[in-house]
Chain A
Amino acid sequence: DQQVKQNSPSLSVQEGRISILNCDYTNSMFDYFLWYKKYPAEGPTFLISISSIKDKNEDGRFTVFLNKSAKHLSLHIVPSQPGDSAVYFCAAVPFYNQGGKLIFGQGTELSVKP
């Protein structure tokens, strides 16, 4: 049972435009959400996070929006750059937080075309 879902396996965007990556979750008991970026054959690197008490967090070109009523979060990248091409994972932390456990979505592969 996939509690965190990224329903778009891939996304292609033109350089300079906005990239919007989406993530849905089914469990209301998530406390915190994170986005990770992953290049092929490398480990994921942390990008940005948001607490469930907020609805927006911004860091440079990256903004994460949280809509708790819709159980939906999105990552906006503006402007998109070719170096942003990677797989993006959203992850959620349960309230009960067993040992800092993260629950990951399947990932969305972003391709930014020059």
Chain B
Amino acid sequence: DGGITQSPKYLFRKEGQNVTLSCEQNLNHDAMYWYRQDPGQGLRLIYYSQIVNDFQKGDIAEGYSVSREKKESFPLTVTSAQKNPTAFYLCASSTDRGDYEQYFGPGTRLTVT
């Protein structure tokens, strides 16, 4: 069964701690993306990667970091520099075929107190 997995579903951290969110896909997609969703807002792009070992900042990259060492994996680290880290984080992937459709994982709800 092809798809995108994100773990864990819920994550709790203390303020000042870095935390890494996992995203794995077995769709053989080249491109992967991280979004965050806040109440009443759309999805905002944090980082994206079109190919292994390369990634670009999205609209709200400050306080986040990513790596893309493998095609299947695109972990997101929420650092202590992110001022409002509590949010719902979504990972997505897409082909490079030009159909623009992105496939999303189930999301991780991060709560920082």
Which label, helix, strand, loop or mixed, suits the secondary structure of the B interface? Answer: strand
Do A99 and B106 touch across chains, with their CB atoms under 8 A apart?
Answer: no
A-B CB contacts (within 8 Å), total count: 69
Do A9 and B40 touch across chains, with their CB atoms under 8 A apart?
Answer: yes
- Residues of chain B at the chain A interface (Cβ within 8 Å): 4, 6, 9, 31, 33, 35, 40-45, 48-50, 56, 58, 88, 90, 92, 94, 96, 99-107, 109
Q: Could you show 30 A-B contacts with beta carbons less than 8 Å apart?
A: A4-B42, A9-B40, A36-B104, A41-B9, A42-B106, A42-B107, A43-B107, A44-B43, A44-B90, A49-B99, A91-B43, A97-B100, A99-B48, A99-B49, A99-B50, A99-B56, A100-B48, A100-B96, A100-B100, A100-B102, A101-B58, A102-B45, A102-B102, A104-B35, A104-B42, A106-B40, A106-B41, A107-B40, A107-B41, A107-B42
Size bracket of the A interface: 20 to 34
Q: Which residues of chain B come closer than 8 Å to A4, judged between CB atoms?
A: 42
